[in-house]
């Protein structure tokens, strides 16, 4: 077997192992929280030894960071999908564009419920672990920035300064509504 082929197979196996670990960790953490998802349980569910988990992620906090980053990427990619070309310019009012954006957010929540469940479990548990708190702040900051940009986009016809001022005022309220809606479902 050629050395390049062997290296590619090893990379593919490593990528599959990493994915299996992240899938198992997401499932366990979204069901039992961060504290309830031990490395031993993740190893059992993924079918991989704990040594593989530590090799890929270094620590339980490293697993959480990877789970949250992968989940955030999938969640926010769906929530920020590009509308049909020219759709924003064809909207008659900011409300229409916001409605479209909130429908995208709803679809993202429906497609990625484990990520949101884990995010809220971590927030509600108020972890003392600085690494976990940092991960939560990054995910929250990314969501806030996306929502701010979408609100500003909806009011862009009023000019940049006014649209940003409107987004500044309504981003927190919109987040509270979204978070509250998710928690009550």
| Cα–Cα–Cα angle for 54, 24, 138, rounded to 5 degrees | 75
Is-contact 48 16, C-beta < 8 A?
A: no
pLDDT of residue 168: 92
- Single out the residue of 115, 14, 135 nearest to residue 74, CA to CA: 115
Six token digits for residue 34:
């961060």
**Residue 82 — very low, low, confident or very high, per pLDDT cuts 50/70/90?**
low
Six token digits for residue 4:
């390049």
Packing angle, helices 39-46 and 50-57, rounded to 10: 110
**Residue in the structure block whose two tokens are 């005022």:** 169
| Residues sharing a CB contact under 8 Å with residue 22, sequence separation 6 or more, in sequence order | 63, 66, 67, 70
Report which secondary-structure segment, H or E, holds 79: helix 60-79
Six token digits for residue 79:
């929530």
Is-contact 114 26, C-beta < 8 A?
A: yes
pLDDT of residue 130: 78
Is-contact 10 1, C-beta < 8 A?
A: no
Is-contact 171 179, C-beta < 8 A?
A: no
> CA distances (Å), 23 to each of 17, 35, 173, in order?
10, 17, 33
Number of other CB atoms surrounding residue 10 within 10 Å: 10
**Residue 55 — very low, low, confident or very high, per pLDDT cuts 50/70/90?**
very high
Six token digits for residue 83:
């509308």
For the ranges 1-5, 63-67, 70-74, which has the lowest average pLDDT? 1-5
Six token digits for residue 140:
């929250």
Q: What's the pLDDT tens digit per position in 165-184?
A: 999 998 988 777 766 655 55
pLDDT of residue 70: 87
Number of other CB atoms surrounding residue 167 within 10 Å: 20
């Amino acid at each position: 077997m050629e050395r390049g082929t062997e290296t590619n197979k090893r990379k593919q196996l490593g990528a599959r192992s990493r994915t299996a670990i992240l899938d198992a960790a997401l499932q366990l953490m979204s069901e039992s929280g961060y504290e309830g998802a031990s490395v031993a349980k993740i190893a059992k569910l993924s079918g991989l030894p704990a040594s593989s988990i530590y090799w890929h992620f270094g620590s339980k906090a490293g697993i959480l960071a990877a789970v949250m980053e992968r989940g955030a990427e999938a969640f926010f990619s769906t929530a920020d999908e590009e509308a049909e070309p020219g759709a924003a310019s064809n909207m008659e009012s900011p409300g229409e564009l916001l409605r479209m954006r909130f429908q995208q957010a709803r679809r993202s929540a429906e497609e990625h419920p484990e990520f949101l469940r884990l995010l809220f479990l971590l927030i509600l548990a108020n972890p003392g672990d600085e690494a976990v708190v940092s991960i939560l702040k990054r995910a929250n900051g990314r969501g806030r920035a996306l929502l701010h940009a979408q609100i500003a986009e909806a009011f862009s016809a009023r000019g940049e300064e006014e649209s940003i001022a409107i987004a500044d005022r309504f981003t927190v309220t919109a987040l509270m509504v979204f978070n509250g809606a998710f928690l009550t479902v």
